[in-house]
């Protein structure tokens, strides 16, 4: 291009465009694939696909290995088999995060944005059958428990917990609080919410693990059970709480949702690392995107691509 016939201002602008470094010119720093973990619930996989799609726009190669939620923190990310994971809930992964931090081989990249809440939840139509709710002590009444029972658990109530990989200590909670309930673990996240939808449509009894951020608390009218508030001592010291011989006699913790990376990401892919560190998403946005997948039947890839196309200015700023 010959710039001598252009005005001084135009020539300066063109020269600056060639001389000013940009994230897009610098990336990718390595052609090796960045491996972003997929887990067994919708929102985390949406965040993974959005993050991966943005990195692909910047020229990176991205892979999406399926991983175990908790062990990925202490094995996959520590040894570099995984590069990045987008959601570790302080509510359920707190202990694994402490163990991961202690290795010195991972890095907490900060909060994703939404606050995590996970607890026992029931539809509003069940309250007339157990009028003491949401107080957890209502569940100790055999009549209340029977109202939540199914043929496989009667006379005990049935509590549908998350997949066993999520932990959550529901089996221990039932014992320590003396609840006449049987814990049944869902095989998958999708199966758990399919069962909720079926029960809700039939006004059938159901008590299950509901978490937020998620579209379910907005779609279905109901309440979380109010257990004794969580404290660290409740989980670690049996002498704490109403049952002085057992731990977990309280509700689940609330807290942040964190992003984690393999420690080597910062040096190997510094622009991608910057994007991951700056990545944030709003609770309502994440709930709506999850609903597009679980309720509208869209693929996570299509939903992620739609968000990326509509929010170019946002994700470009993450790389600056």
The mean per-residue pLDDT over the stretch 143-153 comes to 97
Read off the pLDDT of each residue in 248-261 and give the average, rounded to a whole number. 96
Let me know whether 52 and 127 are in one domain.
no
Q: Is 174 exposed, middle or buried (0-12, 13-18, 19+ CB in 10 A)?
A: buried
Please name the residue that has the structure tokens 């990326």. 308
Number of compact structural domains in the chain:
2
pLDDT of residue 16 exceeding 60, the answer is: no
User: What is the rounded average pLDDT of the residues 237-266?
Assistant: 96
Same domain, yes or no: 200 and 266: no
Comparing C-alpha atoms, which of 65, 98, 85, 40 is closest to residue 276? 85
Given this model, what pLDDT does residue 24 score? 61
Residues 196 and 277 in one domain: no
pLDDT for 2: 35
The residue from 236, 271, 297 where one domain ends is 236
Query: Are residue 181 and residue 287 in the same domain, yes or no?
Result: no
Residues 161 and 204 in one domain: yes
Residue 16 lies inside a defined structural domain of this protein: no
- Which of residues 179, 207, 236 is at a domain's end? 236
Give the residue numbers spanning the domain of 219. 118-236
Report pLDDT for 1.
36
Q: For the segment 191-202, what is each residue's pLDDT rounded down to a tens digit?
A: 999 999 999 999
Mean residue pLDDT across the chain: 91
pLDDT at 74 over 80: yes
Q: Is 259 part of any domain?
A: yes
**What pLDDT is stored for residue 33 in this prediction?**
98
Structure tokens at 149: 């029972």
Indicate whether 223 and 267 sit together in one domain: no
Give residue for tokens 């892919």.
269
- The confidence score (pLDDT) of residue 26 equals 72
Asked if 87 and 170 sit in the same domain, the reply is: no
pLDDT at site 25 = 56
pLDDT tens digits for 150-179?
999 999 999 999 998 888 899 999 999 999
Same domain membership, residue 284 and residue 196: no
Give the predicted TM-score (pTM) of the model.
0.79
Can you give the pLDDT at residue 167? 82
**Residue 307 and residue 292 share a domain:** yes
| 205 lies in the same domain as 124 | yes
Instruction: Return the sign of the alpha-carbon dihedral for residues 81, 303, 168, 164.
Output: negative
Contact between 259 and 112 under an 8 Å Cβ cutoff? The reply is yes
Mean pLDDT, residues 215-241 taken together: 95
pLDDT at 92: 85
User: Measured over all CA atoms, what is the biggest interatomic distance in the chain, rounded to whole angstroms?
Assistant: 90
Q: CATH no. for residue 308?
A: 3.40.190.10
pLDDT of residue 168: 86
């Amino acid at each position: 291009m010959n710039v001598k016939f252009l005005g001084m201002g135009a020539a300066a602008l063109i020269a600056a465009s060639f001389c000013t470094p940009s994230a897009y010119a610098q990336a990718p720093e390595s052609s090796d694939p960045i491996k972003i973990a997929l887990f067994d619930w919708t929102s985390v996989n949406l965040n993974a696909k959005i993050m991966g799609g943005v990195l692909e726009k910047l020229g990176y190669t991205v892979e999406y290995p399926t991983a175990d939620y908790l062990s990925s923190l202490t094995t996959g990310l520590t040894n570099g088999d995984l590069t990045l994971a987008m959601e570790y809930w302080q509510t359920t992964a707190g202990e694994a995060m402490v163990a991961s931090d202690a290795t010195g081989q991972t890095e907490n990249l900060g909060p994703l944005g939404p606050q995590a809440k996970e607890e026992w939840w029931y539809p509003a139509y069940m309250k007339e059958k157990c009028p003491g709710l949401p107080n957890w002590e209502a569940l100790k009444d055999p009549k209340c428990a029977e109202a939540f029972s199914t043929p496989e658990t009667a006379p005990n109530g049935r509590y549908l917990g998350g997949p066993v990989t999520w932990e959550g200590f529901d089996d221990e909670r039932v014992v320590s609080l003396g609840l006449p309930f049987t814990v049944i673990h869902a095989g998958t996240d999708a199966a758990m919410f399919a069962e909720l939808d079926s029960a809700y449509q039939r006004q059938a009894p159901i008590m299950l693990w509901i978490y937020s951020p998620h579209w379910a608390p907005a779609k279905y009218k109901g309440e979380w059970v109010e257990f004794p508030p969580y404290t660290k001592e409740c989980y670690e010291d049996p002498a704490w709480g109403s049952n002085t011989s057992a731990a977990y006699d309280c509700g689940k913790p609330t807290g942040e949702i964190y992003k984690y990376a393999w420690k080597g990401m910062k040096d190997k892919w510094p622009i991608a690392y910057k994007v991951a560190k700056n990545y944030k998403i709003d609770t309502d946005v994440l709930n709506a995107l999850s609903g597009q997948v679980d309720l509208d039947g869209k693929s996570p890839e299509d939903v992620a691509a739609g968000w990326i196309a509509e929010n170019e200015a946002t994700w470009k700023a993450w790389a600056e």
